[in-house]
Amino acid sequence: MRTQVGIIGAGPAGLLLSHLLHLRGISSVVLERRSREHVEQRVRAGVLEQGTVDTLIAAGVGERLLREGLPHEGIELRYGGAAHRIPFEKLVPDRRITVYGQQEVVRDLIDARLAAGGDLRFEVDDVEVHDLEGAPYVTFGGERLDCEVIAGCDGFHGVSRPSIPEGVLTVFEREYPFAWLGVLARVRPSAEELIYARTDRGFALHSMRSPEVSRFYLQVPPDADLADWPDERVWAELKARLETIPGFTLETGEILEKGVTPMRSFVAEPMQYGRLYLAGDSAHIVPPTGAKGLNLAVADVNNLTEALAAYFATGATDLLDGYSAACLRRVWRAQHFSWWMTTLLHTFDDEDAYGRRLQLSYLDYVTSSAAAATTLAENYVGLS
């Protein structure tokens, strides 16, 4: 087999790249080790920046997003027994966020690629990349795919990044002393916008996926065992951390799914080696507090699409040569914002009274200063 771009990974990054390349007349093959059912049902992030929404609409895969997505004009910071709204419509009037599950984005992209005759291969085994500095190719399940470029969109645990020779990459990493217990529940959201709650018991987030389904997160120890979190304990802890202002009652209901997500910051640079280009989680991870993971992947893919379009049209390599540097400018801004939101809202085991007072002081500043609130708002909805 031969194609122009071999894409490893059928998550949002790989699927969107394949579709954008198709719109430019560039062929690709997407290889995914998981089943189609698995990638379509994998619950992940659900906050889309304005730029991500614009990209999906321009690519012709935004019909259901526009119909079912939930546009939000702000978020709430809840701490100290009070609620403080960050109004996007006033601070960044040209941008907002849209709540639309990552798995829905994946379904839309798969449908679009298959409708256009795209070559998507699920449940492939033994994927390996070869000859990255020469004539690259990918082997899988006893087959060989020759291509001019390989895009590694296979996530943090994929094969792409480890295929780069030792000593080429510089890795920057930070692990946090807590995790998130994520809960998906069949219950009407108790608020119209996301609530970020900072309490002495730990952080909590109230989010949603639809008018009938809510998403919640609780800060828990990094070694938390789901067996220790029966439904009754989950709801009790969510109530303790969210019902902290007068008049607010958390609706409860059937819990559909629970999972524990470790918190990590990670960047590997450069995001390219030879004819291999990394995109999304294969190159960088952010703690989910800033809602940046999926959006960074889309930004990477936009950069890579433009670089590949120029290369295949004219042979120009300047955009490909500068791909990593172009992506990393945004990656590091998102890294800082995600770290900042995480340290601002979570409790730390070794935190002393001085550290807690610093947190509360900065929260007071963000919620009372238009300049500070604007900084949060423009980073949250996504920089241009």
Q: Which residues pair with 71 in a beta bridge?
A: 98
Q: Over the Cα atoms of the chain, what is R_g?
A: 21
In single-letter form, the type of residue at position 132 comes to L
- Distance separating alpha carbons of residues 75 and 86, to the nearest angstrom: 5
Contact yes or no for 43/332 (Cβ under 8 A): no
Closest CA to 308 of 161, 165, 148: 148
Pairing of strands 149-152, 5-8: parallel
For tokens 């990094």, the residue is: 222
Sheet holding 97-99, edge to edge: 47-48, 97-99, 70-72
C-alpha to C-alpha distances, 106 to 33, 102, 248, nearest whole angstrom: 15, 6, 34
- Cis check: omega of the bond before 270, within 30 degrees of 0: yes
Greatest distance between any 2 Cα atoms in the chain? 65
In single-letter form, the type of residue at position 227 comes to A
| Chain center to CA of 330 | 14
Q: At what angle do helices 293-314 and 323-345 cross, to 10 degrees?
A: 180
Give the helix/strand (H/E) hosting 309.
helix 293-314
Q: 154 by DSSP, 3-state: which?
A: coil
List residues with catalytic annotation. Answer: 72, 196, 288, 292, 380
Would you state the structure tokens that stand for residue 168, as one six-digit string?
Answer: 């080429």
Contact yes or no for 206/189 (Cβ under 8 A): yes
